[in-house]
Structure 1
Amino acid sequence: MHEKIEKLRGLKLLFVEDEEDLLSIISDALTKLQANFLTANNGIEALAILKENPDIDAIITDINMPLMNGLDMIKNIIDQGFDIPIIIMSAHTEIEYITKAEEYGVNEYLLKPFDFIKFIELITSMEIKKYVNR
């Protein structure tokens, strides 16, 4: 697990989640792991952060959020030409969300409640290209 945490520390992550309690728990744990991460409360905020931080290596997002949901945010990211791995974390397993996400090229999911061990396993097993002139 130590090697995986070291790999995690080498990534710049963006967590997009509107539930403040969950975002606080995730932030606390990532801070303790000395991870490099940013947070956003909705898709609009996430897009603004991404513009300011084009070196983000992966995005972990909820689907149901106010102002702009995760699927609309993913479509915007693709439309803007970003090629960033995205993990959907959601309590929703409805086939329509999964189908739409797969149409956008998202194949990685974490079901809520958020499980840090599963997250670390998933993020460190993904092929993530480090930021290179995006």
Structure 2
Amino acid sequence: MHEKIEKLRGLKLLFVEDEKDLLSIISDALTKLQANFFTANNGLEALDILKNNPDIDAIITDINMPLMNGLDMIENIREQNIQIPIIIMSAHTESEYITRASNHGVSEYLLKPFDFIKFIDLITSMEIK
């Protein structure tokens, strides 16, 4: 696990989640692990952060959020021809969401409730950079 945490520390991540409690838990855990990350409350905020930080390595996003949902955000990112790895974290497993996400190159899914160990395993096993 130590090697995975070291790899995690080398990444710049963007978490997009509108549930304040969950975002706080994730932020606290990532801060304790000395990870490099940003947070956004919706897709519009995330696009702004990504625009100002083009060196972000991966995005982890919820689907249902106000202002701009995760799927619309992913479509916007792909329309800009940004090929950043994206993980969807959601309680939704409907095939419509999965199909729409996979059509935009998203193949990784984390089901809520958020499991930090599964997240670390997934993010450190992905081909990033």
TM range (shorter): over 0.9
Q: Which residue of 2 aligns with 1:85?
A: 85
What is the CA RMSD across the aligned residues, in angstroms?
0.3
| Alignment partners' CA distance in 2, 1:124 and 1:3 | 9
Q: Distance in 2 between matches of 1:51 and 1:95?
A: 30
Q: TM-score, normalised by structure 1?
A: 0.96
Structure-2 separation of matches of 1:15 and 1:108: 14
Per-residue CA deviations over 1:73-131 (Å, capped at 9, x if unaligned) read 000001112110000000000010001001011000000000000000000000001xx
- 1:55-87 CA-to-partner distances (Å, cap 9, x unmatched) read 000000000000000000000001112110000
Taking the TM superposition and a 5 Å limit, the aligned residue runs for 1:67-78 are 67-78=67-78
Partner of 1:99: 99
Flag structure 2 segments of 5+ consecutive residues without an equivalent.
Answer: none
CA distance in 1, matches of 2:111, 2:88: 8
CA shift at 1:47, angstroms? 0.2
Equivalent residue, structure 2, for 1:34: 34
- TM-score, length basis structure 2: 0.99
The percentage of counterpart residues that share the same residue type is 86
**Equivalent-residue separation in structure 2 for 1:71 and 1:62 (angstroms):** 9
Residue 45 of structure 1 corresponds to 45
Residue number in structure 2 paired with 1:56: 56
Cα deviations across residues 23-54 of structure 1 (Å, max 9, x unaligned)? Answer: 00000000000000000000000000000000
Would you identify which runs of 4 or more consecutive aligned residues in structure 1 move more than 2 Å?
none
- Count matched residues: 129
**Residue aligned with 1:14, SS:** strand
